[in-house]
Structure 1
């Protein structure tokens, strides 16, 4: 075994492996990029007192008919408890309404209020401008291919 390989007996990892992970780990770099992108959108939405996560949540409710909580949680890749916690401030601001499903009282339907739709309409041009700026940063590669690759990576292989 070379010195650069992990030695199961001494329970150490060579620094060369740390550098290899730093330079090649998809998880690390996707997380760093996600945080950087979220900060860019958070900064852009700040004048509307909105975060990038709240914008995504509001946009996920912009549908012809109110979605179930489970559908929104699945779309946003979060559990229902986290979704509920994220909905509370939006509901308090009067942007979102949560109502029982008339077909199944255990289920909850989510919808934008008039104020929620108005805020979303104000936020969309900000999103579009920020999105265009970010896409221009990856223009030499291929922003559409990057998006397709990220979507592919985020698909649950067990579904």
Structure 2
């Protein structure tokens, strides 16, 4: 970058740069896509009184053994405080049970209740249809490659 391109005393950003960011910023476009996709899933799950985030949380608990809260937080890329806040309405609805880890009383284990599993079973076909609809929107490109790229981008730097 030459001095002509960047002047430290100039406290403005040219409009052309705004357009360039608008058209090429990965962060902007991933956030826009995430919001749009979440709205589509929220609309689809609305008859079950479930949000897309709650569905993801319930699905993350569908394991052979109850996961630790920290493992679910890591999977969902959220801090434990946010996870706790997201669990409260599900716990109040009787969909999730939070219990102390018998091996370490400081840890918490998360379990889907029978009602939670039943709701997840109702929601899964809705997810499957909505997922297929969305994959169809990227069919001209490559939905599998898009997913692989997003997973790669979401890895923490080492």
TM-score, normalised via structure 2 length: 0.97
* Alpha-carbon distance in 2 for matches of 1:30, 1:2: 32
Q: Structure 1: any 5+ residue segments left out of the alignment?
A: none
Q: Secondary structure at the match of 1:97?
A: strand
2:33 corresponds in structure 1 to 33
Any residues of structure 2 matched to 1:97-112 within 5 Å, and which? Answer: 97-112=97-112
TM-score by length of structure 1 reads 0.96
Cα deviations by residue, 1:106-149 (Å, 9 ceiling, x for unpaired): 00000000000000000000000000000000000000000000
SS at match of 2:50: coil
Contact 1:41 1:51 in 2 (8 A): yes
Moved more, 58-67 or 6-15: 6-15
For 1:48 and 1:79, the matched residues in 2 are separated by: 26
Aligned residue number for residue 133 of structure 1: 133
CA contact (8 A) 1:41 1:130 kept: yes
Moved over 3 A (4+): none
Partner of 1:57: 57
1:67 maps to 2:67: yes
Correspondence for 2:45: 45
SS of aligned partner of 2:55: helix
Aligned residues: 157
Compared with structure 1, are the counterparts of its residues 34 and 75 closer, same or farther at alpha carbon in structure 2 (3 Å cutoff)?
same
State the match for 2:154 in structure 1: 154
Q: CA RMSD in A?
A: 1.1
Q: Secondary structure at the match of 2:53?
A: helix
5 Å-filtered alignment, 1:105-124, equals 105-124=105-124
Asked if the contact 1:6/1:14 (under 8 Å) is kept, the reply is no
Matched, 1:84 2:84: yes
Following TM superposition, by how much is the alpha carbon of 1:2 offset from its aligned partner in structure 2, in angstroms? 8.1
Is contact 1:61–1:112 with CA below 8 Å preserved after alignment?
yes
Aligned equivalents of 1:9 and 1:71: distance in 2? Answer: 47
